[in-house]
Structure 1
Amino acid sequence: MNTAGGLAEPGPALPPDSVPQTVDQVAAVARLYGEPLFALPTDLYIPPDALEVFLEAFQGPLDLLLYLIRRQNFNILDIPMADVTRQYLGYVEAIRKRNLELAAEYLLMAAMLIEIKSRMLLPPRKVEGQVEAEDPRAELVRRLLEYEQMKLAAAELGRLPLLGRDFWRAQAHIDTTVELRQPEVRPEDLREAWTEILKRARLNQHHKISREQLSVREHMSIVLKRLQGQRYVEFERLFEVERGPAVLVVTFIAMLELARERLIELTQAEAYAPIYVRLAYQPV
């Protein structure tokens, strides 16, 4: 019944079996929400690239042909060439005018299908030495089986874990540079070096009585000045043996104080080797 606005009010839905499939001997072309559709809408919009996108989803004409066969459960060893060729040509015709570059290889396969169909209509031609005539579909079946086998193998490989897609390689930076470390100077080495300097000092003793004011800070400055501009200075060369044991003791204490304050470094190349002294900082 009509409403006040003139729009038709839909009645109760009927079961699909009770809906007529023909009206005035015109068959329905489709169903829309369970209702038969007897004519396509005139304002139906189909994107110009819709079928191109569909065909580009196939990996070539063999992929499309295999899709048509498997979708309808055809026996691949006994392909109904008439049905398959008709469906295949329907897909190819849809893109022939839009994308010739894409349709070229599909048209080549279409020509092959038409040739096979034509050969099947002709009387079989036997070859000498063969009991039965060769099936025109044999070469196509062989190519389809090989393609399907490779496609399944590629799918199996695609399911394997892939570096960069499913997992990432763990990386850890290891510093391989080797820093040369000088052997540390032990207290025993300093004691032995000090004993040797005292022995040398006794050989240079002077019997002169004098009073001298000695400053540890002053000798610290003297040692630092002597080390400036020098890469290494031998431990024994920093002592003025001729000035007597008192100066040697003050100088030794000054060097210990400088080492404690990390102003100088005491190094040796190996155990029992000569001891060398250098500045622990670079003067400006």
Structure 2
Amino acid sequence: MKNEATPNVKGLLFKVPDFEGPLDLLLHLIKKNQMDIYDIPMAEITTQYIDYLHQLKEMQLDVAGEYLVTASMLVNIKSKMLLPNEQASLQTDDEIEDPREGLVQQLLLHQTFQTAAQNMRGYADERMKLYPREQALVPADASLGKLDPDSCDITALQKAFARLILKRKVQKPVMRKIESERYFLKDQISRVEKLVKQAKEPLEFDDLFAANAALELVVTTFLALLELVKQGVIKATQEDILGPIKLVSGEVNAI
């Protein structure tokens, strides 16, 4: 709801509330008089609503047709509540239909949209205070990690990992419970690097994963291997298609 200054015929200046439709006006009157929206006193709200429309006409302001339609609806609801209902005596309190029910539902829905609009305006105001920074370019002298051109590519490692997971797949459901993180990438990088460097012969890919290792450990170990291969700390080779992948210590490249 906003206020706008509107002059009348005598040149006086009035501040007339500008409501966004009749439901907005009704909600304003309900809140102003601290009425229960679920138990609206129809006689009082109808009187105040019509008085407000009369005030607008006295100031020679145009009243939209929707305001007059709502006024007639309020009068209709008020009359239904005042007139005796012959069937009401034969019905229980739960069975009696409240004439105000449709109006209450419209007001609640309108109130919901009002709240959502206010929240959106608040979000927009907060967003206007933010100034996004443009994406910075990669420095020309940056040295990025790359796979050794002489080693097998990432696709071969992915396929080997997929075969490993397939071997470990169980036929019956596995019961799991959520636990805190137990395996960390930094620890597995150190572990895999140590295993490969200390091995007297090239270490096969499958030898990195114990048969009974938890799935979280298997995934973390594989990510550690990818990082070491990218850095050049470990070199992965594969002589035959679908053959075993062997891991050897490589030259450490700066990142």
TM-score under structure 2 length normalisation:
0.42
Structure possessing the higher radius of gyration over alpha carbons:
1
